[in-house]
Amino acid sequence: MQGAFPHLFKAREGSRCAQIAARLRDQHVVLQGSVRFDWDEKSKHVIRLQHQVDMMSMLLEMLGNLEDVVLVFNGAHITPECVVRDDLGSVVFSCSTVLSTLIQTK
């Protein structure tokens, strides 16, 4: 959680973000999602991988209100769709970037 939501864990003690971090810390998280593989018959390779993950419902259930969920994602290194970003907002990891890299190296 600290890697995905560093702003929560660096928050000033007693702040709303620190309170949210305390509620999320050491929680077991189960996400619902799906992955779709597109197969190319000609090349016999997977050519596209699309994923969908629902982080919003899980966080809304854990935190109880949309305002806190918004605070979780403001400054986060991960989007509600589970795309990981660096400090500058560039995509670091997503299923589609990994697959694109694999396809380009073949």
The ranges assigned to domains in the chain are 6-104
Residues in the chain: 106
Asked if the model's pLDDT at residue 25 lies above 60, the reply is: yes
- Rounded to an integer, what distance in angstroms lies between the CA atom of residue 61 and that of residue 95? 26
Give the model's pLDDT for residue 101.
45
- Quick one: average pLDDT of 89-105? 48
Asked if the model's pLDDT at residue 97 lies above 50, the reply is: no
- Rounded to an integer, what distance in angstroms lies between the CA atom of residue 79 and that of residue 76? 7
Least confident of 13-22, 52-61, 67-76, 86-95: 86-95
Give the SS3 label for residue 23: helix
Quick one: what percent of the chain has pLDDT higher than 90? 29
- Quick one: average pLDDT of 6-27? 91
Give the SS3 label for residue 54: strand
State the pairing for strand pair 32-40/45-54: antiparallel
Mean residue pLDDT across the chain = 80
